[in-house]
Amino acid sequence: MARNVTSGGLMEGGSTITQQLARMAFLNQDRSLIRKVKEAVLAQRLERDIPDKRKLLEHYLNMVYLGSEAYGVADAAWVYFGKTVDQLTLAESAMIAGLPPAPTQYSPIVNPDVAKERRTIVLERMLEQGFITPEQASKAKEEPLNLKKSTPKNLYSNGPYFTDYVMQELPNLISKEDMEAGGLVIETTLNARWQKAAEKAVQETIKYDGAYSLTRPPWCPLTPTTAKSAPWSAATTTTRTASSTGSPRPSASPARPLSPLST
């Protein structure tokens, strides 16, 4: 902190677990001296309000980003191994424990060899601290990764295709370090009310006209001021493969474009 102040900027990281928890829970990823000061103050308050270090570590492990859309060890256990935390082996637990500093770089999905090296470092540290025996460490080091990639259980979106597009664009807008740190709040153009109306329009179109009629999106929202097309969620296209029921369409009411001015 002293070097950061004397340099007039942010030269070093070196956050403690409590400081990282404070940043994840209350702050953004802005790399500034002001954020660092706030982080330190909040960390002191956390340590005062939660004196039990194990509780602080528990909160941290439930929130830290561990790659592949996994937040917290329970999510990571499921995403990488398809298991609950209590079902993990020593080797699997060590691999997850090594992820926080660089979740993408150490990911067993992205870099399996690097993930094994990181796992070995964690196991050796556990051996040094007396948490495991030499036999347990040796056996865990030889264990294959046995990955079973699964979708995070808490990953839900009203517009999944839209969300996927946003995730693809993020690397072009923010740094890799900020993405790995997690805790980001992303504001998008998605309007949940319009999205539901669009999905309903698609479902009705398929019901009465068949999936063949959806050669283009049944609606395109316009901004009130510019009348230019606004982004819309392609989640509605998931229904295009549905078959027509053959039911007649009621009294000429085709799916019409929706405009913010009419909603």
Closest CA to 197 of 244, 248, 259: 259
What are the extents of the domains in the chain? 1-63, 192-262
pLDDT for res 33: 84
pLDDT for res 160: 66
Which parts of the chain register pLDDT below 50?
A: 1-13, 218, 222-263
pTM of the predicted protein model: 0.56
pLDDT for res 3: 39
Question: For residue range 71-130, what is the model confidence (pLDDT) as tens digits?
Answer: 899 999 999 999 999 999 999 999 999 999 899 899 999 999 999 999 999 999 999 999
pLDDT for res 206: 75
